[in-house]
A = this chain, B = another copy of it.
Amino acid sequence: MAAPLTTTSYALLGLLVFDSGTESEGLTGYELKQRSDNTLRFYWVSPAMSQIYTELARLERSGMVVATDEVTAGRTTRRYRITTAGSRALTRWLHTATDEFPTLKHPVALRLLMGALMDPDAVDDLLRTYVDALRVRRAELQVVRDMLGDAEEFRFPALVADWGRAYYDAEESITLQLIDRVRRLGR
């Protein structure tokens, strides 16, 4: 058995397996970065470019992907495709029961925990800034959701995008309630 992959590896394999349906030449590291900025970032992380290249090299060494070099006038572009082994490994991982719970690092909640040390205005500011950021995020996700449409092949990504949207909506309404409660506290 090969060394177990990280979740981020599987996420990248997921992007590649989606692409493989379309009979394309594969994806470059650069393109992979763009796709992960579009989708993965909302539910996992969007790895740094350098991390993607490192990961890709590792996946290639373990036979999960194959690369083909396109040499176009002095410049080499590497395109990666998922292999049968890669897609088998991915499917196996998907079917492996897991008890991993989502990890949340919430700097706003963390700060609010110490709200007693803050000016009331600063607390209000903190929460309002967060609501604004949530709206921006929600809008960004909406763009992605619109791109997915209701096409058969994008059913699951669309489902997850709807999930994300509902999550941002819930966060916003909770935060607005908090703003209210904090204001009443202040007086």
Q: Which positions in A face B, CB cutoff 8 Å?
A: 7, 10-11, 14, 17-18, 39-40, 42-45, 87, 90-91, 94-95, 97-119, 122, 125, 129, 133, 137, 153, 155-157, 159-160, 163-164, 166-167, 170-171, 174, 177-178, 181-182, 185
CA distance A53 to B79 in the complex (A): 45
CB<8 Å pairs between A and B, sample of 25 = A7-B105, A7-B110, A14-B114, A18-B114, A39-B113, A40-B110, A42-B104, A43-B106, A43-B113, A44-B104, A44-B107, A87-B117, A94-B114, A95-B118, A98-B111, A102-B104, A102-B109, A112-B159, A113-B156, A116-B156, A159-B181, A167-B171, A167-B174, A170-B171, A170-B174
CA distance A159 to B109 in the complex (A): 9
Q: Is the CB of A110 within 8 A of B170?
A: no
Residues of A contacting B: mostly = helix
Q: Which residue of the partner chain, among B10, B137, B174, contacts A166 with CB atoms under 8 Å?
A: B174
Q: Which B residues are in CB contact (< 8 Å) with A90?
A: 114, 117
Q: Closest B residue to A133 by CB, please name it.
A: B101
CA distance A157 to B114 in the complex (A): 7
Most chain B beta-carbon contacts within 10 A, residue among A115, A117, A125? A117
